[in-house]
Amino acid sequence: MGRPHPSRPCRHGATRALTASGRPHEAGAWTPCDADTTAGSRAKTGGLPGRRRPSSTVSPSGRPVLWSRGNGWVAGGLVKTLKALKALPGDAAHVPAYRAALVRLLLAARAVQRDDGFWNVSLADPAHFPGPETSGTAFLAYGTAYALRAGLVPARDFEAVAARAWHGLVTTAVHPDGFLGYVQGAGDRPESGQPVGHGSTADFGVGAFLLAGTELALLARSERTRLTP
């Protein structure tokens, strides 16, 4: 198997497999994230995982290309990994590193959230394919809601982030008949699947929306009850 895309989730699938197999001692073989989520890459991209060669991949205005859904995949992968590791007996390897990686990503994403609650498809350059985008926003809302529910981030700083994202999704992206719009099509960068509009949709966008809604509902039900990931 080749290396995963640099903006893909960490290896939560392998972690789930180890959990099911009853071999928790092997979980330590899986490092917390791909190299592009480590300090060297984050220093170049404001704390957000970038593409494999961020210095040579820039927007028309010269800013790093930071793809919204790619960062959302990382957030979602970290959440799935932490949930899977919770099922392992004893102290699972790398849990603090996974938690820290999620918090770093969410801190950076909070700084570039739009006023309407969405995140631009190109996070570092609001003029690069501007406009709302559902899939990246939903994945980042999912990660934010989980981090709030798990007590990883302070409510005073992140409840508004989650609330704005959800409000934007349900008031702008959801049609009266339930159709979900503003989903960027399949691809691997901001340029992919353009143009994105009110009638743009894809199944993975619907899945991300449902993940975000489910986690937000659990957050509301728990009334800030803290979990141990």
* pLDDT value for 20: 52
Domain of 87, CATH number, reads 1.50.10.10
In a domain, 4, yes or no: no
* pLDDT value for 153: 97
In a domain, 1, yes or no: no
Note whether 23 and 89 are within 8 A (CB): no
Which neighbouring-strand residues pair with 27? none
* pLDDT value for 154: 96
Range of the domain at 106: 12-222
Distance CA 159, CA 176 (A): 26
Locate 188 and state its tokens.
Answer: 């691997």
Which residues, other chains included, contact 177 with Cβ-Cβ below 8 Å and sequence gap of 6+? Answer: none
* pLDDT value for 10: 45
In a domain, 179, yes or no: yes
* pLDDT value for 31: 55
In a domain, 157, yes or no: yes
DSSP state, 210?
H
* pLDDT value for 29: 46
**What DSSP letter does each residue of 12-64 carry, written as one string?**
HHHHHHHHHHT-GGGGGGS-SS-GGGSHHHHHHTTTS---SSGGG-B-TTS-B
Specify whether the backbone of 3 is left (phi greater than 0), alpha (psi in -120 to 50) or beta: beta
In a domain, 6, yes or no: no
Give average pLDDT by consecutive 10-residue segment, the chain, 229 residues: 37 49 50 47 56 62 92 95 76 82 96 97 94 97 97 96 98 98 95 95 97 96 57
Number of domains within the chain = 1
In a domain, 27, yes or no: yes
In a domain, 78, yes or no: yes
- Give 183: exposed, middle or buried? Use CB within 10 Å, 0-12, 13-18, 19+: buried
Note whether 25 and 91 are within 8 A (CB): no
Residue in the block written with tokens 């999704």:
169
Q: Hey, how many other C-beta atoms are within 10 angstroms of the C-beta on 99?
A: 17
* pLDDT value for 55: 41
67 phi/psi in degrees, rounded to 5: -80, 130
* pLDDT value for 122: 95
In a domain, 228, yes or no: no
Locate 146 and state its tokens.
Answer: 């989980």
